[in-house]
Amino acid sequence: MTRLRLGMPSPIGAISPASWNALVGDDYPFLRHEFLSALEDTGAVAADTGWVPRHLTLWHGDELVGALPHYLKYHSFGEYVFDWAWADAWERAGGRYYPKALSAIPFTPAPGPRLLLAEDVDPQQARRLLAESWEAGEVSSWHLLFAEQAEVDAWRQACPELIPRHGVQFQWRDRGFGDFDGFLATLTSKRRKAIRRERRRIAEQGLTLHRLQGDEIGDEDLAHFFRCYQLTYLERGQRGYLDESFFERLHRDLPESLLLIQARLAGRPVAAALCLQGARTLYGRYWGSEVMADGLHFEACYYQGIEHCLATGLTLFDPGTQGEHKLTRGFAPRRLTSLHHIVDPRLRDGVARFCDEESSHVAAYHDAAARALPFKI
C-alpha cells in the first residue's frame, strides 16, 4: 500500500469505534475503543489530569489503516517506567522536559501491542511517517512503553536512534498443567506445601472465593469492588486514578472482558480483584480489601487467576507490575524493553549512558530471579 497519510492527532472520541476496533486483535482489551473512551470520557485522561489524548492515525484515502495510542504528558505519573530523574536533570540544566509524548495505555503496565496496522500496510513506512510527529520539535521526547518485543525490534529497525531501556515483570504461563494440582506437582515440595497451607488458611478464616464474569457481575458487586479499590489507595494517603464511572463504563461496554474475583465472609463480600481478559491472556489489574486476612491477597490476585486460566484455556496470566513475591508462586521473570526518542542531543547522550549502565543490573536481576523459580529441575 502506498500514499499513506498521517491524520490530525485527536482524542479517541473523534475516531470511529468500528474502524479503530477493526485494527485491534482479540487478546488485548486495553486498546479497544471502549477502554480508551472510558478513560477519556470519565476524565481520568484529560488536560486537567496532565494527559492530553492525541492519538495518531494513518489513512489510505478515507480508510483508517493504522493507529497508535498517543498522549501529550505534563508529568510522569501513571506510566510505571520512571523518568523523573531525567526530567529533573534536564530542567535543572535549563531545559524543558514537559510536555513529552507517550505511546502507552494510561495507568496500565500490561505488555501488549501498540501500533495497530491493517494487513497490507508497510510497517516500516508507517513507523517512519509516525516518527515525523515527534520530530517537529513540539515535545522534548517520545516514549514507547510496554510494547511487545517484536514491535520493539521493528521500531528499532525503522528508527535506529531510539534508546532502549530494559525492565522486568513476572508472568505465569501454562505449561500443560491441566489443573491446579497439576501446576503444584511441578513445584518443589517446599513451595507446594506452602501454597497449600496458604489456601487452607483462607478457608480456616471463614473466607470463600467466587469468580464472576461479564453479566454475572451485578451493580452491587461492582460498587463493592470500587469501595475496596479506593481503600487500597487511601491506605497510602492517595486517591485512585480511576473513578467509579470508569468501571461502570467498562461493565456496560466491555462486560465480556471482565472477571471479578470476590472474597466473602459469612456470605458478605469483603474483598475483590477485578481482572480483564482476552482470548489467551488474563490481566490482573485492580484490588482492594475491607478486612485483614492472612494470604487473602495471594489467593484473590494469584491463585484464583491461575485456576481461572486452567479452567478456561487461557495460557498466560499477567498479574501486574513489580513484586518478587510472585516468583515463589510460579510467576517467571520476563524482560521488557521500552523505547525513548530524545530530541536534544545533550539530553539524549545522558539518557543513553544511563540506560546502558542500567541494563547490566537489570540483566543480573532477571537471571537471579529466574534461578529463584520454585519449579523442579
Query: Comparing C-alpha atoms, which of 138, 121, 158, 156 is closest to residue 23?
Result: 121
Contact (Cβ atoms closer than 8 angstroms) between residue 318 and residue 284: yes
Residue 140 pLDDT class (50, 70, 90 cuts): very high
Share of the chain above pLDDT 70, in %: 99
Residue 261: how many other CB atoms lie within 10 Å: 24
Is the pLDDT assigned to residue 62 strictly greater than 80?
Answer: yes
What is the side-by-side order of every strand in the sheet holding 258-265?
A: 51-53, 71-73, 100-103, 141-144, 332-342, 163-173, 316-318, 281-289, 268-277, 258-265, 207-213
What length is written for the chain?
377
Q: What is the DSSP letter of 110?
A: -
Cα separation, 330 vs 320, in Å, equals 14
Q: What is the arithmetic mean of pLDDT over 74-103?
A: 96
94: left (phi over 0), alpha (psi -120 to 50) or beta: left
Give all strands (DSSP E) within 82-138, no chain letters. 100-103, 116-117
Tell me what pLDDT residue 323 has: 79
Query: Comparing C-alpha atoms, which of 262, 258, 260 is closest to residue 209?
Result: 262
Q: Global pTM?
A: 0.96
Is the pLDDT assigned to residue 2 strictly greater than 70?
Answer: no
Is the pLDDT assigned to residue 351 strictly greater than 90?
Answer: yes
Query: Comparing C-alpha atoms, which of 9, 44, 36, 34 is closest to residue 114?
Result: 36
Task: Cell numbers for 314, please give them.
Answer: 487461557
Contact (Cβ atoms closer than 8 angstroms) between residue 103 and residue 133: no
Cα separation, 91 vs 363, in Å, equals 30
Residue type, 48: D
Task: Cell numbers for 202, please give them.
Answer: 483462607
* Dihedral angle sign, alpha carbons of residues 32, 38, 39, 40: positive
DSSP string, 112-165: B--SEE-TTS-HHHHHHHHHHHHHSSSSSEEEE-SB-HHHHHHHHHH-TTPEEE
Over residues 331-344, the pLDDT tens digits come to 999 999 999 999 99
Tell me the domains of the chain and their CATH numbers.
4-168+334-372 (3.40.630.30), 175-314 (3.40.630.30)
